């Protein structure tokens, strides 16, 4: 049963390092050394963002939007809008620009800067360049049991998959702290790249270069924030890489899930974590995309593993990088997080198009720390080291600050679970080189086995490597029955008898005409638990929607206040199996309420900083409001706002271009008074201003 609406799916954190260990059928000796990475305390809650860097993505229509360098004029104008001075750092591989503030800003200051910059219509999005962290949880190691591969209760069911493939010919990119040369890894490591651009974070004396080795991510007390304790180096990326592809059948050490695959280490995490901007470039480079100033990756990865994350839902920069990787055919696997909370509130766990992995313990139940929620796709062994041997064992290094000698250690966390799944994905590519990221996710989800313990909201089950490989290799039936096309709702007509099993989705559309009002969608009746999602213009997802009541049971309503003409998409999703549910969408038809209105003002003139205000009364049922400013000399800026005079920070439209040629186009404008104003960026004269509302 779900919690009340207020507490249904709370915030979550991310990561943990997964490890791989000897199968019962392989005799491997090792010495496991206890380590305590103590990284979970570095998790950044959504309300604690502090940084001195922001990411600004301009719309492609703006001149110079994709330039590698910004003009000083553009930087000055950006600074004037934000009320802060900036330094341009570089263009990201996503096309966004990375800017540096004069000093670190608090969340409140960042929110204000972002809000002001986002009002510029030439800006696509603005967001802080957040630090992400690895999040392995503290552990000890006294035992050498590698249950997470072979045990029927909590394991990956891996040994039988190895009878078919060991991942030969597949490349996995590990986006993490880099790697340490290790006798149990070296043969499977390909050239990588250090993508860390900040020398303090890098801790190796330089910025970006071709050396992806890990110098250690230790930090003294207070280095990562006031009150933060000193931390030893975690060697997190080395642990993750060992789970994926440790050398196997060599008579020593541990085994890897896809032990004939190769690993490309991509270093993005160092002291105190790593910046979103570096991680995004790492994702694109790892998949074979272009990153300015960085040589091409000679070994593009079919699979990328991100056992890292931070507070806040998926940001645009990371999502765009993931989209690029998927377009290049790369599957992206991410950790759900270690905060025993909703993964929807952390990135990249909440990004679209990724395989988000929760962590299970040796009993096949959700690990006590693992995040959960609707964004989680599958679960995998991540361990619990309250008993050391119940953790996940993998390659490590003995150094507490700088590198020491090779060793092994038990870790626990979703960072440990994710590389189990990345390794399983590599096995799928090995048997079907043409498989797509979507197909990989589908196979992993549809062949996952049921949880032997309690694991609510942990995805479809624990990944079953053997079942997944058999399905991708032509056996089994991993594909669900094809979903029917969207049903079509008619205004006020109830659809009855709706039913679906857990995770199933029913989709509908409703066409809404111009002038409609009191639009609502409602589900009711029946048994089980259905969730209602509504979105204008495109299909909703579990993370993208205009309305989602998200209540227990089947009685949910979405009331739309700002009704737009066009197509509304509805999804009814089974939180748990439901049947005999009814769905209705309804609205009140609008009337024309009068015809078109408009006017033309000529020879409008103003001084720098001055305002000229005009109004236009718009009748109900109008489909468009067009405002055009043109001609004359100087530089005036056009502002349009409904209901009251605009200001430099409050408006519905502001093109904000050089000169006097600016326009605003408002679809389905509200009936009432619209204020149309010109403000002098510089002095201007002889300007013509036209406004028209039309049905």
**Catalytic residue of the set 120, 140, 176, 278:** 176
Burial 460-490 (b: 16+ CB within 10 A, else e): bbbbbbbbbbbbbbeeeebeeeeeeeeeebe
Sign of the four-CA dihedral 647, 650, 654, 658: positive
Q: Is 677 exposed, middle or buried (0-12, 13-18, 19+ CB in 10 A)?
A: buried
Residues 336/356, Cβ–Cβ less than 8 Å: yes
Q: Is 543 exposed, middle or buried (0-12, 13-18, 19+ CB in 10 A)?
A: middle
Residue 118: helix, strand or coil by DSSP? helix
Of the candidates 319, 228, 266, 194, the residue with the CA atom closest to the CA atom of residue 44: 228
Residues 319/283, Cβ–Cβ less than 8 Å: no
Structure-block tokens of residue 2: 């779900």
- Is 236 a residue of the active site? yes
Could you tell me where the beta strands, DSSP code E, fall in 49-160? 51-58, 86-91, 97-105, 123-128, 131-132
Cβ-based neighbours of 212, under 8 Å, separated by 6 or more = 178, 179, 191, 192, 193, 194, 265, 266, 267
Structure-block tokens of residue 398: 């003995």
Burial 427-447 (b: 16+ CB within 10 A, else e): bbbbbbeebebebbbbbbbbb
Residue 664: helix, strand or coil by DSSP? strand
**Catalytic residue of the set 415, 420, 529, 637:** 415
Instruction: Characterize the bridge pairing of strands 566-588 and 495-500.
Output: antiparallel
465-472 vs 414-431: helix crossing angle, rounded to 10 = 30
Distance separating alpha carbons of residues 375 and 149, to the nearest angstrom:
25
Which residue is associated with the tokens 């797509």?
Answer: 436
**Catalytic residue of the set 182, 236, 420, 569:** 236
Could you say which DSSP state residue 396 is in? E
Residue 18: helix, strand or coil by DSSP? coil
Residues 32/367, Cβ–Cβ less than 8 Å: no
Distance separating alpha carbons of residues 263 and 532, to the nearest angstrom:
42
Please identify every residue annotated as catalytic. 176, 236, 415
């Amino acid at each position: 049963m779900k919690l009340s609406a207020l507490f249904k799916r709370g915030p979550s954190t991310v990561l943990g390092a997964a490890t791989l260990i000897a199968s019962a059928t392989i005799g491997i000796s090792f010495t496991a050394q206890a380590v305590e990475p103590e990284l979970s305390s570095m998790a950044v809650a959504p309300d604690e963002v502090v940084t001195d860097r922001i990411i600004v993505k301009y719309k492609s229509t703006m001149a110079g939007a994709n330039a590698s360098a910004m003009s000083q004029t553009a930087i000055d104008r950006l600074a004037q809008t934000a009320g802060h001075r900036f330094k341009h750092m570089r263009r990201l591989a996503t096309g966004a620009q990375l800017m540096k503030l004069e000093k670190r800003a608090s969340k409140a200051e960042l929110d204000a800067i972002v809000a002001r910059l986002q009002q510029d219509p030439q800006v696509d999005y603005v967001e802080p360049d957040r630090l992400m962290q690895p999040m392995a949880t503290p552990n000890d190691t006294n035992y050498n049991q590698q249950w997470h591969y072979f045990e029927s209760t909590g394991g990956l069911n891996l040994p039988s998959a190895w009878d078919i493939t060991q991942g030969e010919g597949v490349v996995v990119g590990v986006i993490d702290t880099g790697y340490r040369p290790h006798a149990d890894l070296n043969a499977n490591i390909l050239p990588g790249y250090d993508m860390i651009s900040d020398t303090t974070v890098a801790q190796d004396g330089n910025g970006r270069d071709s050396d992806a080795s890990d110098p250690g991510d230790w930090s003294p007390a207070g280095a990562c924030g006031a009150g933060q304790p000193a931390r030893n180096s975690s060697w997190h990326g080395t642990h993750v890489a060992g789970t994926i592809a440790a050398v196997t059948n060599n008579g020593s050490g541990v085994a890897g899930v896809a032990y004939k695959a190769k690993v490309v280490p991509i270093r993005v995490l160092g002291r105190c974590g790593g910046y979103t901007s570096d991680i995004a470039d790492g994702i694109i480079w790892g998949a074979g995309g272009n990153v300015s100033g960085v040589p091409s990756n000679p070994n593009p990865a079919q699979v990328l593993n991100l056992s890292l994350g931070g507070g806040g839902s998926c940001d645009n920069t990371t999502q765009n990088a993931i989209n690029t990787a998927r377009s290049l055919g790369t599957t992206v696997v991410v950790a759900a997080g270690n905060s025993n909370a909703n993964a929807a509130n952390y990135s990249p766990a909440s990004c679209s198009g990724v395989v988000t992995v929760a962590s299970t313990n040796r009993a096949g139940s959700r690990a006590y720390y693992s995040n959960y929620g609707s964004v989680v796709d599958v679960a995998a062994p991540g361990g619990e080291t309250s008993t050391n041997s119940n953790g996940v064992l993998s390659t490590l290094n003995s150094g507490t600050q700088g590198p020491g000698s090779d060793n092994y250690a038990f870790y626990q966390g979703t960072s440990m679970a994710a590389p189990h799944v990345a390794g399983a994905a590599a096995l799928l590519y090995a048997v079907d080189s043409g498989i797509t990221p979507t197909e990989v996710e589908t196979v992993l989800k549809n062949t996952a086995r049921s949880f032997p313990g309690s694991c609510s909201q942990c995805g479809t089950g624990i990944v079953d490597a053997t079942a997944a490989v058999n399905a991708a290799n032509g056996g089994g039936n991993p594909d669900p029955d094809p979903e029917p096309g969207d049903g079509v709702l008619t205004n006020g007509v109830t659809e009855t008898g709706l039913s679906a099993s857990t995770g199933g989705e029913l989709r509908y559309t409703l066409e809404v005409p111009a002038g409609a009002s009191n639009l609502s969608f409602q589900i009711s009746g029946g048994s089980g638990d259905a969730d209602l999602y509504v979105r204008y213009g495109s299909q909703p997802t579990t993370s993208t929607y205009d309305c989602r009541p998200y209540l227990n049971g089947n009685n949910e309503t979405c009331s739309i206040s700002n009704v737009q003409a066009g197509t509304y998409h509805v999804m009814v999703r089974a939180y748990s199996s439901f049947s005999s549910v009814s769905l209705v969408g309804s609205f009140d038809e609008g009337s024309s309420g009068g015809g078109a209105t408009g006017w033309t003002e000529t020879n409008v003139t103003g001084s720098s900083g001055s305002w000229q205000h005009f109004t236009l009364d718009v009748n109900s049922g109008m489909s468009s409001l067009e405002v055009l400013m043109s001609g004359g000399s100087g530089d005036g800026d056009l502002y349009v706002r409904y209901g009251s005079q605009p200001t430099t920070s409050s408006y519905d439209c502001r093109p904000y271009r050089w000169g006097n040629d600016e326009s605003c186009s408002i679809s389905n404008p509200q009936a009432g008074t619209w204020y149309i104003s010109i403000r002098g960026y510089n002095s201007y004269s002889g300007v013509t201003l036209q406004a028209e509302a039309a049905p």
